Amino acid sequence: MRQKITVRLKDNSYDIHVGEGLLDQAGELVAPILARPKTVIITDENVARHQLPRLERALTNADISFDSLILPAGEATKSFEQLEKLLDRLLELRLERSDKIIAFGGGVIGDLVGFAASIYQRGIGFIQIPTTLLSQVDSAVGGKTGINSPRGKNLIGSFHQPDLVLTDVTVLDSLPERQLLAGYAEVVKYGLIGDKDFFHWLENNGRKIISGDPAARIEAILTSCRAKARIVAEDEKEQGVRALLNLGHTFGHALEAEVGYSGDLLHGEAVAIGMVMAFDLSVKMGLCPASDAENVRRHLEDISLPTTIGHGNHPISKIHMTATDLYDHTLHDKKTSAGKVTYVLASAIGGAMLRRDVAPEDIREIFQQALKTRPL
């Protein structure tokens, strides 16, 4: 069974299909939007090992010819060097402006391929087939694309919406549990920013999502994508409400920058810690009941996500960092305008808001508090 959500935009609406085994139907789903039966799949080594033959078979069965480009796995692939190589290969393969390419992977592949599509011959179409929970509920939807600069993550990019998103929950079966948990943090985010009932549903069903129940996974992905589609339709270029999707991200990006975007801290793990910090800050500013912050912390802990910089045996609990260094990272946030960082805070679970009036001392103190939890 497959379900469809439409992202309704002024210029280019598109569908997200969610279901079990969609990868095997990819040929018939993709064919109607191709100008000619030819495409290029761009993926990484890990996805190629586990899932590429399924996609290739599905395209072959639909008489679509293709080339497969396999890039190195990992964040370092979101670079100028890989972008240049990718564009060169697309030129060599004589892709035309009416063709569409396929991003088959997690956030790294989706962001890089989307950016390449946005600048190849001034823009060609692309299809997202996300293979991680994080990309299925967040990065594959909404058209944020880009690469990293040595000066920071995602600093070079564009808005370029995909023409189609195909989300197959069966591809999650080969995903390591740590990656699943990291993606789950972004699922929880949708409950925290605007859907208290979804948060309560996750409290009861979150474990099933991690352990592999397809129905629970589909339900969580659909609810997340519906929320994201609504927000993106209202504010495609992040002039306002879309910034709510950054709950926990300013704190989280500071932690990621401090550990050098290494495997010691996955993006979703940083977001989990950051969301707890955002709720703690909201309590500190008198905006949110302490019991809500406690419920957020408890659920993330129950599911085995880190909730603080000193979390148990997590690698970041052993990395030296100071509140001042972490605070300094927040000042480089992309959401800074006129020198002020916009924070996503909350009045309750499901009640997120944007605030530009947060006192630097409060932010430093929240970092201090999270650092104090480290083992001696």
Give me the active site residues, please: 122, 144, 186, 228, 238, 242, 246, 249, 253, 267
Report H helices in the chain: 26-30, 45-50, 52-61, 80-92, 107-119, 133-134, 177-194, 196-211, 214-234, 249-258, 267-284, 290-302, 323-330, 360-371
Task: Considering the complex, state which of residue 72 and residue 240 has its C-beta at the smaller distance from ligand GLY.
Answer: 240
- Give me the least distance between CB of 57 and ligand GLY, in Å please: 31
- The label of the residue with tokens 């996609």 reads 55
Q: Specify whether the CB–CB gap between 77 and 112 falls below 8 A.
A: yes
DSSP 73: P
Which lies closer to ligand GLY via its Cβ, residue 207 or residue 242? 242
Looking at beta carbons only, is 240 or 263 nearer to ligand GLY?
A: 240
Least Cβ distance, residue 29 to ligand GLY (angstroms): 23
Map tokens 């069966």 to a residue.
Answer: 170
Determine the Cα–Cα distance for residues 105 and 132; give it in Å rounded to an integer. 7
Q: How far apart, in whole angstroms, are the C-alpha atoms of residue 136 and residue 65?
A: 26
Q: Based on CB atoms, which residue is closest to ligand GLY, 186 or 292?
A: 186
Longest dimension (CA), the chain: 63
Coil/strand/helix, residue 162: coil
> What is the residue whose two structure tokens read 């290739």?
56
- Per residue in 234-263, is it b (16+ CB within 10 Å) or e — as a string? eebebeebbbbbbbbbbbbbbbbbbeebee
Q: Name the residue whose CB lies closest to ligand GLY.
A: 245
Count of residues binding ligand GLY (CB under 6 A)?
Answer: 5
DSSP state for residue 138 in the 8-state scheme? I
Q: Which 80-139 positions form the footprint of ligand GLY (CB under 6 A)?
A: 138
- Nearest distance from residue 248's CB to ligand GLY, in Å? 11
Per-residue x/- mask for ligand GLY, residues 142 to 171, rule CB under 6 A? x-x---------------------------
Question: Which of 138/333 has CB closer to ligand GLY?
Answer: 138
Compute the distance between CA of residue 165 and CA of residue 130 in angstroms, rounded to an integer: 8
Q: Tell me the closest approach of the beta carbon of residue 152 to ligand GLY, in angstroms.
A: 16
Min dist CB 262 to ligand GLY, Å, is 21
* Region 217-256 residues binding ligand GLY, contact defined as CB under 6 A: 242, 245
Q: Which is nearer to ligand GLY, 242 or 355 (CB)?
A: 242
- Shortest Cβ 318–ligand GLY spacing (Å): 29
DSSP code for 150: T
CA distance 151 to 138: 24
Q: Which residues bind ligand GLY (CB under 6 A)?
A: 138, 142, 144, 242, 245
